[in-house]
Amino acid sequence: MSDLFLQACRREPVERPPVWMMRQAGRYLPEYRAVRKRADFLTMVGTPELAVEVTLQPVDLIGVDAAIIFSDILVVPQAMGMTLSVEDGVGPRFHHPLRAAGDFERLRDVAPEDGLGYVLDALRLARRELAGRVPLIGFAGAPWTLMAYMIEGGGSKSFSLAKRLLVEDPPRAHGLLGRLADAVGSFLVAQVEAGAQAVQLFDSWSGAVGPQDFREFVLPYLGRAARLARTAGAPVIVFAPGSGWALEEIAAETEADVLGIDWQTDAGDARRRIPPTRVALQGNLDPCWLYAPPAVIRERTHRMLDDFGGRGHIANLGHGILPDVPVSHAQAFVDAVQQWRAR
Ligand code: CP3
């Protein structure tokens, strides 16, 4: 049993930093694409046997130090009653994005065991099949990112529809953000009860708003979800890419054990701002550097590890791995971490 990941989450001294990759169960793996040929994405997410099969692939094939359950952040809005589809080349889409008052009112509050039981079943099965080899991470989307997705209906460059709600009807925005914070927080508690040994909140679109709106609409609800999740007793990881300027505020408001660091943020600077005894940091190699030859990946990775300083660090990418990265390059990243020794 490798405890490295959980020890690092708790800021305990470790022989080397643990390593995993966001989106590590994904299309860059031929073994993932083989499963995906048999089933579409949402079927994989909704079928515990398939979800667990691909959850284990990066553990078996690449030797990462943690598994993350195969699922998606959009399962929560789906359980609240929104119809979701994920098409090749288009990405996830809600068929009827939230526009009129009635759309907001029709949303259901979800009890995790009812609407999201299949994710909990996948976690229970994954824990059994991992048999203690590496810890299992659960996750959910943070309130602002989910609300923005629910209003936009899909990806967006300007987020103008979601931001327009903040301008035109702040009480409605606050109402939905509060409901999402409770839904997501209790979902993460249920994930820990089902076997997740740490949980990560993804606020992927937090960088879409300025500081004042971040403090009014993003951070309070990210904090509410994270603090609720913490009551389950497992480490909580908070990743808010694009909001590196606010690391101190995020640490204070969320009480997170671990902060995810995006690739735009300087590793040494993040470490100086957040002492390793208080909060662990996770990240942050630019995923595009996995296009480099393995020797260069190794050099870049070692420089990143030096910058974080070893203690209280979980090595990862600064965002999800890209689908066209060669597996041997992902392997070079993981090997580089596992062969590094703090100097
Ligand atoms: O990290 C892991 O391996 C666990 C699985 C995981 C997925 N999505 C699988 C997935 C996780 C943690 C997520 C989180 C997620 N989903 C986020 C937050 C992380 C981030 O990137 O900021 C977001 C914004 C989503 C929403 C989402 N789902 C998008 C934008 C897409 C399209 C991605 C693309 O490249 O096409 C998805 C679909 C999705 N989720 C895929 C995977 C492996 C691709 C599905 C496929 O076609 O096989």
Residue 230 has pLDDT above 80, yes or no: yes
Instruction: Determine the angle formed by the axes of helices 219-230 and 170-193, rounding to 10 degrees.
Output: 20
Residue 1 has pLDDT above 70, yes or no: no
How far is Cα 312 from Cα 36, in angstroms, rounded to an integer? Answer: 36
Question: If you average pLDDT over residues 16-21, what whole number do you get?
Answer: 98
The topology under which CATH files domain 4-339 is TIM Barrel (3.20.20)
Radius of gyration for the alpha carbons in the chain, expressed in angstroms and rounded = 19
Pair 336, 298: CB distance under 8 Å: yes
Distance 13 CA to ligand 1 centre (A): 32
131: left (phi over 0), alpha (psi -120 to 50) or beta: left
Pair 311, 11: CB distance under 8 Å: yes
Residues 6+ apart with CB under 8 A from 293: none
pLDDT of residue 88: 87
- In one-letter notation, the amino acid at residue 181 is A
Question: If you average pLDDT over residues 22-34, what whole number do you get?
Answer: 98
- Identify the DSSP state of 19: B
E-strand ranges in the chain read 67-68, 84-87, 91-94, 136-141, 198-202, 236-239, 258-260, 280-285, 313-317
pLDDT of residue 265: 98
Average confidence score pLDDT of the chain: 97
Question: If you average pLDDT over residues 324-343, what whole number do you get?
Answer: 93
How far is Cα 82 from Cα 153, in angstroms, rounded to an integer? Answer: 10
What is the helix (H) or strand (E) element at residue 293, kind and residue range?
none
Question: If you average pLDDT over residues 261-276, what whole number do you get?
Answer: 98
Question: If you average pLDDT over residues 276-284, what whole number do you get?
Answer: 96
Pair 119, 192: CB distance under 8 Å: no
**Out of 11, 16, 36, 179, which one is annotated catalytic?**
36
Residue 33 Cα: closest atom of ligand 1:
48
Question: If you average pLDDT over residues 182-200, what whole number do you get?
Answer: 98
pLDDT of residue 147: 98
How far is Cα 234 from Cα 254, in angstroms, rounded to an integer? Answer: 14
11 is known as an active-site residue: no
Distance 155 CA to ligand 1 centre (A): 12
Pair 263, 283: CB distance under 8 Å: yes
Look at 42-51, 57-66, 333-342 and tell me which has the smallest mean pLDDT.
Answer: 333-342
Instruction: Determine the angle formed by the axes of helices 143-152 and 219-230, rounding to 10 degrees.
Output: 120
- pTM equals 0.97
Pair 337, 305: CB distance under 8 Å: yes
Residues 6+ apart with CB under 8 A from 269: none
Residue 297 has pLDDT above 80, yes or no: yes
Q: Which residues of 241-265 are buried (b: 16+ CB within 10 A; e: fewer)?
A: bbbbebbeebbebbebbbbbbbbeb
pLDDT of residue 2: 67
Pair 183, 116: CB distance under 8 Å: no
pLDDT of residue 89: 86
E-strand ranges in 191-278 read 198-202, 236-239, 258-260
Backbone angles phi, psi at 238, to 5 degrees: -115, 125
How far is Cα 88 from Cα 16, in angstroms, rounded to an integer? Answer: 39
Choose the residue to mutate in 32, 72, 94, 137 for probing ligand 1, maximizing ligand atoms within 8 Å of C-beta: 72
pLDDT of residue 343: 54
Which residue has the least CA distance to atom 7 on ligand 1? 72
Backbone angles phi, psi at 38, to 5 degrees: -85, -25
**Out of 16, 32, 72, 179, which one is annotated catalytic?**
72
Residue 296 has pLDDT above 70, yes or no: yes
Question: If you average pLDDT over residues 211-224, what whole number do you get?
Answer: 98
Ligand 1 site, CB within 6 A: 22-27, 36, 41, 68, 70, 72-74, 86, 91-92, 139, 202, 204, 320
pLDDT of residue 236: 98
Over residues 77-111, the pLDDT tens digits come to 999 999 999 998 889 999 999 999 999 999 999 99
